[in-house]
Amino acid sequence: MKLRRVVITGLGALTPVGNTVPELWNGLTGGVSGAGPITRFDATKFKTQFACEVKNFDPLNFFDRKEARKYDLFTLYGLVSADEAVTDASLISENLDLDRVGVIWASGIGGMSTFYDEVAGFVTGDGTPRFTPFMIPKMIADIAAGHISIKYGFRGPNFATVSACASSANALIDAYNYIRLNQADVFITGGSEAPINPAGIGGFNALHAMSTRNDDPVTASRPFDKDRDGFVIGEGSGAIVFEDLEHALARGAKIYCEVAGAGMSGDAYHMTAPHPDGLGAMNSMRAALKDAGLSVSDIDHINTHGTSTPLGDIAEIKAVCGVFGDHSKNIAVNSTKSMTGHLLGAAGAVEAIASVLAIQHDVIPPTINHFTDDEELGNMVDFVFNKPLKRSVNAALSNTFGFGGHNASLIFKKFIQ
């Protein structure tokens, strides 16, 4: 069968460096770090005492108090960014077939804060169970997708994807494929995460996965720097409207770019560590190129997974070089996690938005906090360090990888009718 073309018609973001898409883009191109001391709880006894928190977010600016009580923070984030994307796409109209609009939304963890608060309240109480009736519907990872669909009446396919830090990239890929296969015309897709609580920080500290640069949190996220010592945890949400091309043209929608291809793979290697030679990452990138019908020389930019971990950064660059060969040095490579931190299940969506905007503006945001070259990485690729790069971006690839060996790669390209 002939596959339909898929375009992007709306964007929404709520992140540590900006609470809207324009603010996010200004933060990324301005090299702004979203990191700072944790304000959600007293973290003085934790190995890591800082994070990339969303700032100046008041749920009561978007919901009344009674409604806000029904949602975990990850759902609040998702609803707000989804509304920005739906509004940006001018999607709602009396002619919209609600049966053909779906929601695929991701979270790597879901309502972790709700679960923590409710269990902590029980454990520190007198033993009498006083759990809120909202506990279960607030914490389950699929609930954000449900609430987004309920808000707008979208009755198309509706579910959540969970693949650790690759979760929202997988959500985007599923939405892309459902539209290509004519199972829907439009999807609101993306992901949200709100993991900054004692359990989240303590759990990742126990894994020795996070930076402990408490004396200088602003520069702690250092992808590809020799002195990187782990990722900086973040929170937030990214929402994208994927739409069938003909459907978008028929309603005169603004088109940001085209979704060109996608690839997925598994490392089949280790619970948390990447394959040391980047085998799974190579497979997902190759699959995306094949799906897009593009050659390695067509890719101008890669927004890497680039978490700032000692093993992960090297494995990914090895994978890039394994796929792109000599062309690797012509590809502008960055990691926006140097600014946003690692948004876990929301990372893929937010970084896809950054890739889309790089295509739209022909500007590649920098990887900030680069101080010392890593001899193992050398000049294997064209790293964009510390300052944004102005260059033509016709096609961009965004990588997202997750614990368990989950790999997802998406390719976006300039729209040509």
Catalytic residues: 165, 305, 342
CA pseudo-torsion sign 40, 111, 28, 81: negative
- Is residue 151 within 8 A of residue 92, CB to CB? The reply is no
The residues, any chain, with a CB within 8 Å of residue 154's CB and separated by 6 or more, are 98, 101, 102, 103, 148, 188
Give the strand pairing for 301-303 and 50-52.
Answer: unpaired
Helix (H, G, I), strand (E, B) or coil at 116: helix
The helix, strand and coil proportions of the chain, stated in percent and rounded to the nearest 5, come to: 35, 20, 40
Report the C-alpha gap between 11 and 352 in whole angstroms: 10
Q: Which residue has the tokens 């896809």?
A: 352
Return the closest-CA partner of residue 285 out of 322, 246, 243, 254.
322
Report the C-alpha gap between 409 and 316 in whole angstroms: 12
Helix (H, G, I), strand (E, B) or coil at 182: coil
CA atoms within 13 A on the CB side of 178: 24
CA distances to 6, 96, 198 from 258, rounded to whole Å, are: 6, 21, 40
In terms of residues, how long is the chain?
A: 417
What is the residue-wise DSSP string for 335-353? Answer: -THHHH-B-GGGHHHHHHH
* Partners of residue 332 on adjacent β-strands: 301, 382
305 in the Ramachandran plot: left (φ > 0), alpha (ψ -120 to 50) or beta? alpha
Count of CB atoms situated within 10 Å of the CB of 266: 15
Return the closest-CA partner of residue 306 out of 249, 230, 373, 195.
230
